Amino acid sequence: MENNMIDDIVEKIYSEERISTDDAMRLFAHPNVTELGLLADVVRRRKWPKDQVTYNIGRNINYTNVCWVRCDFCAFYRPPGSDEGYTLPREQIYEKIDELIAVGGDVPKGSEILMQGGLNPKLRVDYYEDLFSSIRNRYPQIHQHCLSATEIIYIAHISRMSLEKCIRRLRDAGLDSIPGAGAEILSDEVRDIIGFRKDRVHEWLAVHRIAHELDLHTSATMMYGHVETIEQRIEHLEHIRNLQDETGGFTAFIAWNFQPDYTALADDQGRWNGIKATGFDYLRTIAIARLFLDNIKSFQASWVTQGAKVAQVSLKYGVNDFGSTMMEENVVSAAGTSHTDTMTLQEMQRLIRDAGYEPVRRNTRYEILN
């Protein structure tokens, strides 16, 4: 059978049979991206049969940009001691939450703050316990979707405690769920190139496994389009599918491509080929991920990196969720790409309607509100 013939894979998909890693390789080689979208839409409609697209009212809060890891794909961080480093005062964080509440963040646990930063050596577990508990006490209606596996691993390390104890203490203080950030590509070969000081694949997976065991839901992400091979993208998806089989704790999958501007990786032509991933690559990747990750219900569009038009198209490529209002974004925009300035709640709802769907508000657990 020729590499671009996928009839047997199509039969598997319509029969609701799991596809293999070899099947995924053949789908990446398949020249007709539209066909992949049609297949992904079949799977999406099994899980979300109504003509609805969900969205969330939330905001990003980058509480610190101080980070000692110096990942080569990141333009956001500042090393310890930098004049441009910051840790937000508590009152400034409260002001940002007040702004969220003013635009509709008053439904109990119906709105989220996505609070992430860097690996700041001055911040130990008691800092986060105090922060999360103060937010919970002051804003009990807000869902705290915070930190990344990388941050949690570092917090546990400098606080001299096990991952399980660290996550349990953060949960008890007010942490409601954990984003999937820090995954990049779950291949140690890739991580050795783009961020050799970061956690290993088994460590990232361990954080999410422990969180799931402690009844904390998490999301899964993938940042592609830098130094990885297609085989390594599929390896990444296989790690996520296997852990979801084991725990069932992932609520959603989100993918986006590497944003190169102002990063050390972009300046190193020996490692990165200088070619930014296209919208077609995004649609192909998200569609194949939807077909492969048959055990994850929700897929979120990445309008921050792809823009509104590609995000709209992705709704026909397996995506059922338009993401969060965000209100501000600092990490991706530091690398020169962001569309947050124009994405109001009203604009998000309009884009969903124009794509032929009804916009429906959800919470962080992807439960429909109202």
Task: Render pLDDT for 314-367 as a digit per residue (tens, 0 to 9).
Answer: 999 999 999 988 776 444 444 345 545 567 889 999 999 999 999 999 999 999
Residue 20, number of CB atoms within 10 A of its CB: 14
CB-hemisphere CA count at 13 Å for 273?
8
The parts of the chain modelled with pLDDT lower than 70 are 1-4, 70-73, 75-77, 105, 260-274, 328-342
Name which of 190, 185, 187 is nearest 222 in CA terms.
185
Beta-strand relationship, 358-361 and 321-324: unpaired
Q: Output the pLDDT for position 120.
A: 92
Exposed / middle / buried, residue 137 (Cβ in 10 Å: 0-12, 13-18, 19+): exposed
Is residue 333 a contact partner of residue 26, using CB atoms and an 8 Å limit? no
Using DSSP, state whether 52 is helix, strand or coil: strand
Q: Output the pLDDT for position 198.
A: 79
Q: Output the pLDDT for position 3.
A: 43
Give the C-alpha separation, 13 to 40, whole Å: 9
Q: Output the pLDDT for position 334.
A: 42
**Domains, the chain:** 19-361 (3.20.20.70)
Name which of 227, 154, 132 is nearest 188 in CA terms.
227
* Global pTM exceeds 0.75: yes
Which residue, chain included where needed, has tokens 């105090």?
A: 130
Q: Output the pLDDT for position 23.
A: 98
Q: Output the pLDDT for position 110.
A: 86
